[in-house]
Chain A
Amino acid sequence: EVQLVESGGGLVQPGGSLRLSCAASGFTFGSYEMNWVRQTPGKGLEWVSYISSSGYNIYQAPSVKGRFTVSRDNAKNSLYLRMNSLRAEDTAVYYCARGFGLTGRTFDYWGQGTLVTVSS
């Protein structure tokens, strides 16, 4: 059974940093593209970042480019999102999601999400 389990969310002050993790199991992690998607009540679902199976190709949403960094450790079956210079508008539930199909740019399995709250 495919499982994705996020961790690392919490309360952080504006300008602060946080690192999210996603532990994958039930599939060959190193063979799949992975993504981070976030959800806020106000803006709905927003794709955040994509990383290819090897980690060589990375794409980020314009709203987080230069502040967030996605990475992966295929030996540990883990995906990461390093978030710097956090803003109030980054407050959201963050999901890791497995890429589907040839493009890897839609998402067939999602974790349960981890809540990030940016507030003073």
Chain B
Amino acid sequence: DIQMTQSPSSLSASVGDRVTITCRASQTIRNYLAWFQQKPGKAPKFLIYDVSSLQSGVPSKFSGSGFGTDFTLTITSLQPEDFATYYCQQYNTYPYTFGQGTKLEIK
């Protein structure tokens, strides 16, 4: 299985900050990477697919980059509603695997 490793596992930031979350795959996944946001007690929300394409309705403050094995999610101008847990997911190779999550907390 392809292992997806996110860093950091948790992150404290302030409203208005810019943050970057990293996701590393144990082998190449080309550009088949998605990002999800999850709030407590809710289902994950689809943010980004194919590394950098924003899902419809997702604000442009979210952006993704990378190729192969190393990827990043950047969120600018943090607002209270952005504090959540973020997951990456590879869908290049069966079985499709997720990172362990990065919890973004208010400082």
- A residues sitting closer than 8 Å to B (CB atoms) are 44-47, 50, 59, 61-62, 95, 100-101, 103, 105-113
Contact = CB atoms under 8 A, between A and B. Distances in A.
7 contacts: A44-B87, A45-B87, A45-B89, A46-B97, A47-B89, A106-B89, A110-B44
B98 A111 contact: no
B80 interface: no
Q: Which of A50, A103, A106, A112 has the most C-beta atoms of chain B within 10 angstroms of its own C-beta?
A: A106
Contact of B49 (A47, A100, A112): A100
Binding site of A, secondary structure by majority: helix, strand, loop or mixed?
strand
Contacts of B36: 45
B99 to A, nearest CB: 8
Contacts of B32: 103, 105-106
A14 to B, nearest CB: 24
Interface in B13-58: 32, 34, 36, 42-46, 49-50, 55
Nearest to A4: B43
Contact of B43 (A44, A46, A59, A112): A112
